[in-house]
Amino acid sequence: MNYFRKALIFGITVLLMGSASYGKDISKEQVKGLDEQVQEIKGDALSISAELAKLEEKLLYPSNTEVSVFISLKTGETFRLDSVDIQMDGKPVTHHVYTLKELDALRKGGVQKIYTGNVRIGDHDLEVQVSGKTSGGSDFQRKERFRMSKDVAPKIVEVSLASESITVKDR
């Protein structure tokens, strides 16, 4: 019985050593090839994810009802934008509090897509409220109302902010 046990342990040890040495036979080229395959799969997954996001947007926001609102700052503005609230037809649709990084991007000419939603064809009220600080450090709030007209095509609205005014442009 003792002999059988020793033989079994010896056999298992030989098998384990053989399988361990088998794992060492993988060459650097094979590992490099596997890394390339993993990177290719990651790229494919990202591409599929982007396509799914586009498809989801088309399904959620059909072109005949889609409206998108973008925020920009007028060139040379020095006020600090803290937040923007947007209402459409008297209903709040979005609220955004700005980070210093986002504000810096807007000051450099960036444009932010702040809202995408659905509205029916026809005229709609758009209300924009801005909160921030003037270059002198005092708080300010500004609220303005605009009328926009939605037709069959997707509607793109740019809200351009300045310390003295808010303007809306159709794009």
13-38 confidence digits (pLDDT tens) = 666 665 555 555 677 777 778 888 88
Residue type, 112: Q
Q: Which residues contact 168 (CB under 8 A, 6 or more apart)?
A: 126, 128, 146, 148, 157, 158, 159, 160
Report, in angstroms and rounded to the nearest whole number, the Rg of the chain calculated over CA atoms. Answer: 30
Which H or E element spans position 61?
A: none
Domain final residue pick, 60, 78, 97:
60
Specify the CATH number for the domain of residue 94: 2.60.40
For residues 120 and 151, give the distance between their C-alpha atoms in angstroms, rounded to a whole number: 8
User: Tens digit of pLDDT for each residue in 140-156?
Assistant: 899 999 999 999 999 99
For residues 120 and 153, membership in a common domain is answered with: yes
Q: What is the mean pLDDT of residues 42-52?
A: 89
pLDDT of residue 29: 78
Q: What is the mean pLDDT of residues 86-94?
A: 97
Q: Which residue has the tokens 């351009």?
A: 160
N-term to C-term CA, the chain: 89
For residues 130 and 92, membership in a common domain is answered with: yes
Provide the 10 A C-beta neighbour count for residue 126: 20
Output the CA–CA distances (angstroms, integers) from residue 154 to 21, 68, 73, 147, 168, in the order listed: 64, 8, 23, 16, 16
For residues 34 and 101, membership in a common domain is answered with: no
For residues 116 and 36, membership in a common domain is answered with: no
> E-assigned strands of the chain?
66-73, 80-88, 91-97, 112-118, 122-133, 139-150, 155-161, 166-170
For residues 150 and 92, give the distance between their C-alpha atoms in angstroms, rounded to a whole number: 18
For residues 70 and 56, membership in a common domain is answered with: no
Q: How many domains does the chain have?
A: 2
Quote the percentage of the chain above a pLDDT of 70: 87
Structural domain of 92 = 66-170
For residues 143 and 86, membership in a common domain is answered with: yes
pLDDT of residue 15: 61
For residues 138 and 72, membership in a common domain is answered with: yes
Pairing of strands 112-118, 91-97: unpaired
For residues 38 and 7, membership in a common domain is answered with: yes
For residues 15 and 96, membership in a common domain is answered with: no
Domain final residue pick, 60, 81, 102:
60
pLDDT of residue 14: 61
